[in-house]
Amino acid sequence: MTPNEQSFQTFLEKNPQLCASGLAGPDLCRQLQLDYEGERQRLKAAFNDFAICCDWLLDSTPMRRVSCVAPTSSELTSRIEKKLGLPVCHGALVAAVLFLRIPHHQPDGFPDVRVGISVRSPTLTEVA
């Protein structure tokens, strides 16, 4: 399932809870003192990051459910950044998780999610 920019923009329109900081709609952004509209615009401009994250996640081993040791989206974003040597928008990773329908769990009050991929996945075990 390779996304194109149009499918990304359509997906974002259908998922207003996504922003550049992760899974954070207007209410959570307000609690975290983030500019929701600005965060949405940053994510809308992050298609390249989204495509990179989709490719990376597709190389991972998905799980049926999310465990308590599942990696967080922040941890995965850091791994991708380390591999590429470039910054990656955290919200683009979270959007890719939802777009690819990978199981995830969001703790209350946080824009971060735990992602249902195996900790033994090649993408997580390869040496950076």
Residuewise pLDDT in 10s, the chain (128 residues): 678 999 999 999 999 999 999 999 999 999 999 999 999 999 999 999 999 999 999 988 888 889 888 999 999 999 999 989 999 999 999 999 999 999 999 887 789 999 999 877 777 776 54
Backbone torsions φ then ψ of 104, nearest 5 degrees:
-155, 165
102: which strand partners?
A: none
**Global pTM exceeds 0.85:** yes
Q: How far, in Å, are 84, 107, 122 from residue 11 at the CA level? A: 25, 23, 28
Give the number of other Cβ atoms within 10 Å of residue 34's Cβ: 17
Cα–Cα distance, 97 to 13 (Å, whole number): 16
